[in-house]
Structure 1
Amino acid sequence: MHENIEAPDVTPTERQLALVATGRGHGDILRLMSPSDLGEHLKPFVFLDLFAGDMRLMQEAMPIHPHSGIATVTVFTDGDVCFDDPQAGSGRLDYGGVEWMRAGGGVWHGKELSAGESATIQGFQLWIALPPELENGPVESQYIEAREVPAAGPARVILGKYEGATSPVRAPDGIVYLLVRLGAGERWTFTPPAGHTVGWLAVAKGELRLGQVVQPGQIAVFEEGREPIALEAGLDGSSLVIGTAEPHDHPLHLGYYSVHTSAAALEAGERRIAEIGERLSETGDRRTTTGTIPVYR
C-alpha cells in the first residue's frame, strides 16, 4: 500500500497538504492511486499510474482488457509512441501528447499504441469517473499530438480550461488536469478555478518543494479548499501533473476494470463489456500494419 508521510504546516494563504504518499510498484508501473484508496477521496480522479520502460516490451505484456464507466487519460512525459486507428487517424505522441478514451458503456483496448523512435518512454495514465449521463454512454477516442495541446505558462492544459487555454479533449466540465515542467529552482503558483476543491499532484522527475520535498513517484494530496497551490522545483527542475476538480458527488461502485455511480449502472456496464468481448473473440486478427490493435467498441 501507499507509504503516507505527514505534511508540515505551510503558509496559511496557500493550499495545505493533507498527505504525501509513495506508490507501489510492479514491473514498469508504479500505482499512485486506486478507486479503493485515494480515489475515494479524490473523485472524479480515481486511478493513477506512473509508467516507464521500453514500449515494445510494455505493448507485448499489456493484454486487451475492458472498461466501462470511466475515461482514461494517458499523457507522456518522456519519449514517444505512435497511434494508428482507422477512426481516429495516425500520428505520434511525445511530451505533452494525449490519448483520451471515454469508455462509457463498454470498450476493450490495451494495444492501440506502438513504440516510436525513443528507446524508452515515461508517462501517466489517469482514470476519470464519469457522471451518470455519460457512464453508460457512447465510446470516444481522441489522440492529441503535442503541438495541439495548448500551454499556459509552464503548463500544458491536458483537460479543461486554464488561464484562457482550452484543451481539445472532450472531457466533462469541472475538471482541470495539467502537465507542468519547471526549471531548476523555478517557482510557479497554480490558482484552481472556482469550485475546484479537490486537488492533488504527482511528480515524474525531479524534486518538488511544497513545504516539504515531494520525490518522483509520489503523489501529494491537498486539503479541500480553494486556495492557490505554490510550487518550487528542486535543483534539477521538475516534471509533474496536477489535477483539480469539482467534487464527484456520487458513490463509487467498482468492478475489476469499471467504476460506476450505482450498482445498476455497474451491472449494465459489465453486461455490455461481456457482449462486446464475445464479438471481439470472433473478429480474428485486427492488428494494423504498424502493430497496433485499435480500440474495440
Structure 2
Amino acid sequence: MSNLDLRPDPAVLGGRGGVPGEPVRELMAARQVQLGESTRVRRLLPTLGRRMIGAWCFIDHYGPDDIVDEPGMQVPPHPHTGLQTVSWLHSGEVLHRDSLGSLQPVRPGQLSLMTAGRAISHSEESPADHPAILHGAQLWVALPDAYRQVAPHFEHHPALPEVTAPGLCATVIMGELDGAVSPGRAYSPLVGADLALAEGADVRLPLEPDFEYAALAMHGAADVDGVRLVPGSLLYLGSGRAELPLRAESAAGVMLLGGEPFDEKIVMWWNFVARTGEEITGYRAAWNAGDERFGTVRGYAGAPLAAPSLPTTPLKPRGRAR
C-alpha cells in the first residue's frame, strides 16, 4: 500500500533512545488520510512522539467500509525500497500486482508479504466484483541495513499458525508468538498477531520482555492491560513485559505488534525507507524517470503514481521519537 499524501512528511526513525525500559500505556491517536478516491484510512504510525514499534514503521487501519456501490481500494502502481509490506484483511478482497509479475488475490486471514529490498513497484485494487465490506490493516516493516538491498520478492501464505487459550485464538502473521512461528520471512526479531477474543475472554498472553509492543483495536471493545480500546485505536505498551492481560465482554479483535527495538536510524519519506536524505532524493528521481530498477506493474488500468515534491528541509536520520 502506498502513502498517497501529496505533501508527505519525512519521518526519522530508529535507535533505542525513545524506547522505555518498562511497561507503559500510551494511547495514540490516529490521523485521517485519504487513500485514492474512495478509501479513507486511520494512520497510526508514524505519529508525533512515536515512530516505530520494533521494526514496524507504518500502520494504516481502514474500514469496515461499505463499498457495495463503490470501487473500493484503488491504489495505482507505486514504488517501495528498504521495507516489507504486510497486508492483512478482516473483510473484503484486494488484488495485488507487482513488478515481479505477481498477481494475487488477498483475502481475510491470509498473509501477503512483499519484500521491497533494493526496489519494487506494485498496485492494489478491489476487484470489480468485490465483497460489500472492506476492513483491514496495512503495515510496513523496516529492513535492517544488512538486508535492505536484497532482491525483491513476494510471498503469499493462505494458512498461518495459531495460538489458542480459553477465549482466545491468536493467528501468528509475522515472527513468533508462544512457540508458533509464521511462515513469512522476517529479517529482524518481531511479532505480528491477530487476536480474536471471544465473549467473556479473560486471558494472559505470554510476551518477550526484550520486545516493545503495541495493540491495535480492529473490531469490538477490548481491555488491554486495563485500558479500553475501541476500533482504530493503538495502545503503545513499552517493553519489560512477560505477559499481557486481555479481557473482552463481547467478541473483539486486536492486532498485537512488537519486536526488538530497532537499533538503526533510518529515513522514511513517501514510500521509501533509506539511511540518508541523499538516498531518498535518488530514489525519487529514479522512480519519476522510469528507472528500470523498479520494474513495471502490468495489468493495472491506470498510470503509475508520480512521487511528490521533496520537502525544502534536509532529510536527516535522527531517532525513533520526536
TM bucket (normalised to shorter chain) is 0.7 to 0.9
Report if the CA contact (8 A) 1:206-1:238 is conserved. Answer: yes
Partners in 1 of 2:238 and 2:113 — Cα distance?
Answer: 28
Matched, 1:47 2:54: no
Q: Single out whichever of 113-122 and 243-252 deviates more from structure 2.
A: 113-122
Matched, 1:232 2:247: yes
User: Residue in 2 aligned with 1:63?
Assistant: 76
User: Residue in 2 aligned with 1:202?
Assistant: 216
CA shift in 2, pair 1:87/1:268, >3 Å:
closer
Residues 64-104 of structure 1 deviation map (CA, whole Å, 9 limit, x = unaligned) = 21111111101111233455779687665333111111111
| Counterpart amino acid of residue 22 in structure 1 | A
Map 1:151-166 onto structure 2 (within 5 A): 151-153=162-164, 154-166=169-181
Could you tell me which runs of 5 or more consecutive residues in structure 2 were left unpaired when the two chains were aligned. Answer: 1-21, 304-322
CA shift in 2, pair 1:86/1:286, >3 Å:
closer
Matched, 1:21 2:28: yes
Map 1:132-151 onto structure 2 (within 5 A): 132-145=145-158, 148-151=159-162
Report if the CA contact (8 A) 1:186-1:232 is conserved. Answer: yes
Partners in 2 of 1:16 and 1:281 — Cα distance?
Answer: 41
| Counterpart amino acid of residue 113 in structure 2 | W
Could you tell me which runs of 5 or more consecutive residues in structure 1 were left unpaired when the two chains were aligned. Answer: 1-14
Q: Single out whichever of 85-94 and 219-228 deviates more from structure 2.
A: 85-94
| Counterpart amino acid of residue 164 in structure 1 | G
The normalised TM-score by structure 1 is 0.78
User: Residue in 2 aligned with 1:287?
Assistant: 299
Relative to total residues, which structure has the larger strand share, 1 or 2?
2
Partners in 2 of 1:115 and 1:246 — Cα distance?
Answer: 41
Compare relative contact order (CA 8 Å, sep 6+) and give the higher one, 1 or 2: 2
Report if the CA contact (8 A) 2:93-2:126 is conserved. Answer: no
User: Residue in 2 aligned with 1:73?
Assistant: 86
- Out of 124, 127, 135, the residue aligned to residue 111 of structure 1 is 124
Q: Single out whichever of 20-29 and 99-108 deviates more from structure 2.
A: 20-29
Aligned residues: 271
CA shift in 2, pair 1:280/1:138, >3 Å:
closer
Residues 172-212 of structure 1 deviation map (CA, whole Å, 9 limit, x = unaligned) = 1301110111111212322223532x100101100011212
Matched, 1:216 2:223: no
Relative to total residues, which structure has the larger helix share, 1 or 2?
1
| Counterpart amino acid of residue 258 in structure 2 | T
The normalised TM-score by structure 2 is 0.73
| Counterpart amino acid of residue 238 in structure 1 | A
User: Residue in 2 aligned with 1:252?
Assistant: 266
| Counterpart amino acid of residue 59 in structure 2 | L
The percentage of aligned residue pairs carrying the same residue is 22
Shift of 1:133: 1.2
Shift of 1:282: 9.9
User: Residue in 1 aligned with 2:111?
Assistant: 98
| Counterpart amino acid of residue 138 in structure 2 | Q
Partners in 2 of 1:232 and 1:225 — Cα distance?
Answer: 20
Partners in 1 of 2:286 and 2:179 — Cα distance?
Answer: 39
